[in-house]
Amino acid sequence: MKRRDLFALPLIVIPVRVFAQAPNSHISTTDPLVFSFTKGRDVLPGKVKIELPALADNGHSVAMTVRVDSPMTEASHVRAVHMIAEKNPVRDMAVFYFGPNSPRAEVGTRIRLNGSQRIVAVAELSDGTFWSDAVQIEVREAACTDGG
């Protein structure tokens, strides 16, 4: 193998990323918490964006922004965004509800995290479709169950 062939290696990785964007790749449709609002419908990755640092010194208060790509009109708007913290004792962290009067589907808040985990956002749109995003965060010192 020529050394320049090594540059072609990253191209092999791209189809794997495309595969990861299949429906329900961020969540499980049979998860009772997810099922409680999707009622078993497919959740497609995309449209939603979670902004969270990759690393947090402690989990007591971590700034987070969640944003959904939507025109926010009467015909097409975001109804709700469900935030799930997969390793928190209370997984359903928050639900934010919007309406056609909201100009932008964006919410910023500060969250509490019980250790390193994945945060998932599931947005419910006015046309009945569900979209998701997931981010991994490393937390050095957990909140919640530290017993302190």
Nearer residue to other proteins within complex by CB, 42 or 138: 138
# of chain residues touching other proteins (CB under 8 A):
36
Residue found under tokens 């708007």: 77
The site string for other proteins over 108-137 (x = CB under 8 A, - otherwise) reads xxxxxx------------------------
Does 147 participate in binding other proteins (rule CB under 8 A)? yes
Nearer residue to other proteins within complex by CB, 23 or 87: 87
Residues contacting 122, CB < 8 A, separation 6+: 26, 27, 34, 37, 38, 43, 48, 81, 82, 84, 130, 131, 132
In order of 21, 78, 113, the CA distances from 17 in angstroms are 7, 26, 27
Residue 57 token pair:
């010194």
The site string for other proteins over 8-47 (x = CB under 8 A, - otherwise) reads ----------------------------------------
| 77-106 residues near other proteins, rule: CB under 8 A | 83, 85, 88-99, 101-104, 106
Shortest distance, position 105 Cβ to other proteins, whole Å: 8
Residues at the site binding other proteins, with contacts judged by CB under 8 A: 60-62, 65, 83, 85, 88-99, 101-104, 106-113, 143-148
